[in-house]
Structure 1
Amino acid sequence: MINSLPDLLLRLAIAASAAIVLLLLVRRPLRQRIDARLAYQAWLIVPLAMAAAALPPLFAAPVKALVLLPAFGRAGSATEALSAANPGVTGWLLLAWACGALATLALFCLSHRAFVRGLGTLTERGGLAYAAHAAGGPALLGLWRQKIVVPADFEQRYSAAEQALIIAHEQVHAQRGDAAANTLLALMQCAFWFNPLVHLAAPRFRFDQELACDALVMRRHPAQRRAYAGAMMKTQAGVSVTPSVCHWQSCHPLKERIMHLQQTSPTPSRRMAGRMLVAALAAVTVFGALAARAESTPGYAVAMTLRVGVDAAPQNVNILTPADFSVRSGAGESVWTGDFSITAVGTDQVFIRSKISQNGKLVSEPGMLTRLGTSSGIKIAGAEGKPGLALELTVTPAAQAVPGA
């Protein structure tokens, strides 16, 4: 499982990147022509695409190759694995990934700590948490026991109408779970610190989140657009920004937010058309990820050499198989069967499980971890002086197989 983690991370990163590129293309038209809330909801396409990429292949039907060979002798029960591949660079890749993820997490934690410290000692009054100075808030702080943090001069700086709108804005964040969404986004940035598209998408996701929140507040208070814009103009963004907190203004372009306040609510038909469009985009992305997962199911070319006894001539066979294959030889009272299963381990290794039987009776179940393109073997000693069996296998990706080999 550890060896397959780099492959899983790569699949998830590719799926997330494809979904992010799609959203970067459609988010502005969705906001301007339909609804800012729909543009924010469209970001769900990213985790859906990643979930589809993490699923096992759904469309790959199991196929088992069967190869019949002339009789190659008998064997006893003692088994020896001749070679196995080294773990390679998988461990180093995982170490580098873990270091990058922990470093990114540490930066986020330090940023959040600096933000909380910058608020000073909070004074709770009337259901609000007042910061120690005028530059703290408004913001929604916390994941479970959430607090609406406002600046120390909240009651002096804002009118009563503006205060109500700011509180309504932060309450919308709390009701929708936006702080949890921001925290999950930060964790995604930690896990995929090596993917620049994830970091490019993060501020755009939070901006769409703010616009969606503005749109919902304006829908509930349609006559308060001027007061809402005035509250934005009075808000300062002098404190540090942390990705897990819902900020009233922070680094969001103020001009664009005010312009969106003038946008009228979409008609029901336009809203329905927008939802159908987002659903179609989500379906295309998810099924694309599933199809890519099915197509990425590895096929293998197996070059096998079988030898019975020391002096016997080797038998060579080349097999093209999705993952499982069987080799059968002999007839009558001496029928040998080898059942083999190939499982990918990371990007450059496979684990070969095998069952060697004679006349339907299991003789041995050896397993080998081998690097692609590297020869590995199984040796089964003969019983009572009878000839033993030696198998040598080289597994390569099917795409690298030489036609006619």
Structure 2
Amino acid sequence: MINSLPELLLRLTICASAAIVLLLLVRRPLRQRIDARLAYQAWLIVPLAMTAAALQPLFAAPVEALVLLPAFGPAGIATETVSAAHPGFAGWLLLAWACGALATLALFCLSHRAFVRSLGTLTVRGGLAYAAHTAGGPALLGLWRQKIVVPADFEQRYSAAEQALIIAHEQVHAQRADAVANTLLALMQCAFWFNPLVHLAAPRCRFDQELACDALVMQRHPTQRRAYAGAMMKTQAGVSVTPSVCHWQSCHPLKERIMHLQQTPSSPSRRRAGRLLVAALAAVTGFAALAARAETEAVPNYAVAMTLRMGEGSAPHTVRVLTPGTFSVRVGEGESVWSGEFTMTSAGPEKLFVRSKISQNGQLVSEPGILTRLGTSSGMKINGADGSPGLTVDMTVTQESKAAPGA
């Protein structure tokens, strides 16, 4: 588990970075030639690629090894049983990642708290929450019980038409659950705090979100472009804004937003072509992530020489199997049948951690683990239930050539 998490983080980082680079290249052409809403929707390619990268291998399956051969030599020397693998470098790496993620989350929480406190005491009137200062809002605050926050001089600063457009803008954010999307984006920044591409992409994704919201408001109010631009000009971002809040002005480039208001809506055929293009990009990215996962999931074959002995003085049995990492064995007959399922994972250079589930007569008895070196004999001793003869397992594992999943 500990060893697999850094590998998963690395795989997700690579796939997310590739998808982000792709979107940084296509987002502006999508906005200018087709539609700002499509450019914002294209950001879904990033979580799609990460989901594909996190999927389990489609063709991997346990290898069963049930053939038992009589031994022609001694059972071997048993070594001590290890209850768990030492985390080693992977454990320290995971600890560093967790510390960075928690620190980033703490910064976001402090930023959100500072923003909420900067609004002062909110006064609810006419369905709006008026801030105590003129620099607070307009913004959509909250995830579940959302409220539209406006500055204290909202009615004096903006005309009636501008007020209606600002409210419509924030209502679009609420209808599309943009605050939830911003929160998930902030959590992604926490999880991948070490990846500069994620922090580069986050504000650009939020900017595309604002442009998409502007485009939808203008579609509903096509004759109000001048009033909409006037409302933007009158709004000043006087306080820092938390990433999870949908803010009317924030730090988004004002000039570019106003220029997009003048953009002629694209034709239905061009929008359909754009959607097909984004769908094709998403499909290619997803399949590429799956293909890369299948390639990196090629696992080494292990040749296992295992000797099992039931009780003192009993005849040993030997199993030899070539496996990609998971196999099962069974020994005994009648009223005393032992079975075991073994899974081998890398624990560092020339090291393996062997997880096992040992059962007696179909009942799980123990789940011991062994940290072993390739080519070195190691073993475990399991006590039988109700005083019955126990099981001694000795094994030596060597690494063979790699095999692709499903091979």
Shorter-chain TM-score bucket reads 0.7 to 0.9
Shift in CA distance, 271/317, structure 1 to aligned 2, threshold 3 Å: same
Greater Cα shift, 319-328 or 179-188: 319-328
Change (3 A) 1:352 1:142: closer
Quote the residue 1:375 is aligned against. 376
What does residue 184 of structure 1 align with? 184
Q: Structure 1 CA distance, aligned partners of 2:285 and 2:101?
A: 26
Across the aligned residues of Structure 1 and Structure 2, the Cα RMSD in angstroms comes to 3.8
CA distance in structure 2 between the aligned counterparts of 1:9 and 1:156, rounded to whole angstroms = 51
**C-alpha distance in structure 2 between counterparts of 1:393 and 1:113, whole Å:** 57
Name 1:351's counterpart in structure 2.
354
Q: Give the structure 2 partner of residue 238 of structure 1.
A: 238
Identity of aligned residues (%): 73
2: CA distance, partners of 1:225 / 1:245: 24
Q: Does the 8 Å CA contact 2:378/2:396 hold for their aligned counterparts? A: yes
| Cα deviations by residue, 1:337-387 (Å, 9 ceiling, x for unpaired) | 997643436777432548799xx999x988543366473522679xxxxxx
One-letter code aligned to 2:213: C
Report which stretch shifted further, 29-38 or 346-355: 346-355
Would the alpha carbon gap of residues 374 and 192 (structure 1) be closer, same or farther in structure 2, given more than 3 Å must change? farther
Partner of 1:114: 114
Residue 249 of structure 1 corresponds to 249
* Structure 1: tracts of 5 or more residues without a match: 310-315, 329-336, 382-387, 401-405
Matches within 5 A, 1:128-277: 128-277=128-277
Change in Cα spacing, 1:349 to 1:217, as seen in structure 2 (3 Å) is farther
The 2-side partners of 1:176 and 1:161 are apart by 23
The residue that corresponds to 1:127 in the other structure is 127
| Contact 1:138–1:248 (Cα < 8 Å) also in 2 | yes
Give the TM-score taking structure 2 as reference length: 0.80
How big is the shift at 1:179?
Answer: 0.5
Q: Does the 8 Å CA contact 1:58/1:290 hold for their aligned counterparts? A: no
Q: Is the 8 Å Cα contact of residues 373 and 396 (structure 1) preserved in structure 2?
A: yes
- Change in Cα spacing, 1:134 to 1:94, as seen in structure 2 (3 Å) is same
**Residue identity opposite 2:353 in structure 1:** V
More RCO (CA 8 Å, sep 6+): 1
Distance apart, 1:282 and its partner CA: 1.2
Q: Kindly state the Cα deviation for residue 207 of structure 1 after the two structures are TM-superposed.
A: 0.3
Q: 1:210 to 1:299 in 2, by over 3 A?
A: same
Q: Distance in 1 between matches of 2:108 and 2:357?
A: 48
Deviation at 1:104, TM superposition (A): 0.7
2: CA distance between counterparts of 1:397 and 1:93? 28
User: Aligned-pair distance for 1:209?
Assistant: 0.3
2:91 alignment counterpart: 91
Shift of residue 192, structure 1, vs aligned partner:
1.4
Give the Cα–Cα distance (whole angstroms) in 2 for the partners of residues 346 and 389 of structure 1. 24
**Equivalent residues of 2:81, 2:370 under 8 A apart:** no
2:396 to 390, 393, 397: 393
Q: How far did residue 399 of structure 1 move?
A: 5.0
Contact between 1:302 and 1:320, CA under 8 Å: does it hold in 2?
yes
**1:291 is the counterpart of 2:291:** yes
How much has 1:233 moved relative to structure 2? Answer: 0.9
Q: Which residue of 2 aligns with 1:20?
A: 20
Cα distance in structure 2, aligned partners of 1:399 and 1:373: 15
TM-score scaled by structure 1? Answer: 0.80
Gap regions ≥5 residues in structure 2: 310-317, 331-337, 383-390
Q: CA deviation at 1:57?
A: 0.7
The residue matched to 1:378 in structure 2 has which SS? Answer: strand
Aligned counterpart, 1:334: none
Q: Deviations over 1:312-356 (max 9, x none)?
A: xxxx9997532245899xxxxxxxx99764343677743254879
Cα displacement (A) at 1:303: 4.9
Secondary structure of the residue aligned to 1:243 is coil
Give the secondary structure class of the aligned counterpart of 1:264.
coil
